[in-house]
């Protein structure tokens, strides 16, 4: 008789979240000048799903590597993600008061320190990968650093944010522009999470292709779901202001497709993403379950 074990995603995520929280907590100590370290830690330790580090760790393990090999990169990915949220929330950008259920960094520390906290986290992320990665050939670590830099810079997050800012208040934003914004603002870093985990574990170029596709598909699905939740969820569920897109008359997937078609597209992307992992059999269980979780999440 064949018995299939049901994969317990919520247990997996909470175990991984605890590991990541502990590693992040160890990564940054508060020393002089205390204000900047406190501000960096305020946002870094404010919760969040820790999806990016978990994706990196899960991919590394799936490809045959260990948690230890990927943990410094996983922490760096969360530092980069957090710094992008701090800067995104600034008055000069999205001007948000709440993030992860807490006051935003600039509301607590002021705009000046919030900008510097972002800068501190971004630079430390790269230092952390370079200095802390162990038991990995240096060539792979170097490739990870290149991967991260490409995902964050003008060809990635920064470029996506620029096009987003330039599209604000425009009524003629096309779906191609919307897709550019999300592939760069959100997709690029998610792709870097999966690819860096794969690189650390020694994946070949050929192995990396389907993993890139997986990450791009879940990245887009993630963003579509985010747009839908902005309409259907409450601020309390989201831990940030809900309904902001409608209020700002922003182009979103539901504004092009409506809510039902947006959900259908997200489900299709998740199915496509999962199909990319066929070669990994049972070892892909965490990444398969994470893909499903993206469309099932309520916050
Ligand atoms: C990266 C150098 C540099 C500057 C920042 C502000 C900016 C440039 C980019 C914006 C990036 C941004 C805010 C993208 C949105 C990403 C997104 C979907 C965030 C929400 O992610 P979740 O739901 O949040 O994983 P938690 O809190 O769970 O981690």
**Residue 251 falls within a domain, yes or no?**
yes
Q: Is the pLDDT of residue 48 over 80?
A: yes
**Residue 4 falls within a domain, yes or no?**
no
Q: Is the pLDDT of residue 239 over 90?
A: no
Q: Is the pLDDT of residue 266 over 80?
A: yes
**Residue 3 falls within a domain, yes or no?**
no
CA of 89 to the centre of ligand 1 (A): 9
**Residue 247 falls within a domain, yes or no?**
yes
Q: State the pTM of this model.
A: 0.94
What is the pLDDT averaged over residues 53-68? 98
104 lines ligand 1 (CB under 6 A): no
**Residue 1 falls within a domain, yes or no?**
no
Q: Is the pLDDT of residue 255 over 80?
A: yes
Choice from 56, 81, 250 to test ligand 1 binding pocket (greatest atom count within 8 A of CB): 81
Choice from 42, 79, 84 to test ligand 1 binding pocket (greatest atom count within 8 A of CB): 84
| pLDDT the model gives residue 15 | 98
CA of 185 to the centre of ligand 1 (A): 7
**Residue 137 falls within a domain, yes or no?**
yes
Q: What is the pLDDT of the chain when averaged over all its residues? A: 94
The per-residue DSSP string of the chain comes to: ----PPP-HHHHHHHHHHHHHHHHHHH----SSHHHHHHHHHHHTS----HHHHHHHHHHHHHT--HHHHHHHHHHHHHHHHHHHHHHHSTTTT--SEETTEE-HHHHH-HHHHHHHHHHHHHHHHHHHHHH--SS-HHHHHHHHHHHHHHHSTTTHHHHHHHHHHHTT-S---HHHHHHHHIIIIIHHHHHHHHHHHHHTT--HHHHHHHHHHHHHHHHHHHHHHHHHHHHS-HHHHTS-SSHHHHTT---HHHHHHHHHHHHHHHHHHHHHHHTTGGGGGGGHHHHHHHHHHHH---
218 lines ligand 1 (CB under 6 A): no
Domain count for the chain, please give it: 1
94 lines ligand 1 (CB under 6 A): no
**Residue 115 falls within a domain, yes or no?**
yes
Give per-residue pLDDT as tens, 163-222: 999 998 898 999 999 999 999 999 999 999 999 999 999 999 999 999 999 999 999 999
Q: Whose CA is closest to atom 17 on ligand 1?
A: 186
Percent of the chain with pLDDT over 70: 95
| pLDDT the model gives residue 1 | 52
Domain range holding 203?
Answer: 9-296
Instruction: Locate the ligand 1 atom nearest the alpha carbon of residue 51 and give its number.
Output: 25
Q: Is the pLDDT of residue 258 over 60?
A: yes
What is the pLDDT averaged over residues 130-134? 98
> Please, what sign has the CA dihedral across residues 30, 32, 35, 40?
negative
| pLDDT the model gives residue 233 | 77
CATH of the domain at 259: 1.10.600.10
């Amino acid at each position: 008789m064949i018995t299939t074990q049901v994969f317990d995603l919520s247990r997996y995520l909470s175990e991984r979240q605890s590991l990541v929280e502990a590693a992040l907590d160890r990564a940054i100590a508060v020393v002089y000048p205390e204000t900047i370290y406190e501000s960096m830690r305020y946002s870094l330790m404010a919760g969040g799903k820790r999806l990016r580090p978990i994706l990196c760790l899960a991919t590394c393990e799936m490809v045959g590597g260990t948690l230890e090999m990927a943990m410094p990169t996983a922490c760096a990915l969360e530092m980069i993600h957090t710094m992008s949220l701090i800067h995104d929330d600034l008055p000069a950008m999205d001007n948000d008061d709440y993030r992860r259920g807490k006051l935003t960094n600039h509301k607590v520390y002021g705009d000046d320190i919030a900008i510097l906290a972002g800068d501190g986290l971004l630079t430390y992320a790269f230092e952390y990968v370079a200095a802390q990665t162990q038991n990995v050939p240096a060539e792979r670590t170097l490739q990870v650093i290149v991967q991260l830099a490409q995902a964050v810079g003008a060809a990635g997050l920064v470029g996506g944010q620029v096009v987003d800012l330039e599209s604000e208040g425009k009524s003629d934003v096309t779906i191609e522009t919307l897709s550019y914004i999300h592939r760069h603002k959100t997709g690029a870093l998610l792709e870097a999470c999966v690819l860096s985990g794969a690189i650390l574990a020694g994946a070949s170029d050929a192995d990396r292709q389907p993993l890139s596709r997986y990450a791009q598909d879940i990245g887009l699905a993630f963003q579509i779901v985010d747009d839908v939740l902005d309409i259907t969820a409450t601020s309390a569920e989201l831990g940030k202001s809900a309904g902001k897109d409608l209020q700002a008359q922003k182009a979103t997937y539901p504004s092009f497709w409506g809510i039902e078609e947006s959900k259908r597209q997200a489900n299709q992307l998740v199915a496509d993403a999962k199909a990319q992992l066929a070669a990994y059999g049972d070892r892909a269980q965490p990444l398969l379950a994470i893909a499903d979780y993206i469309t099932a999440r309520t916050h």
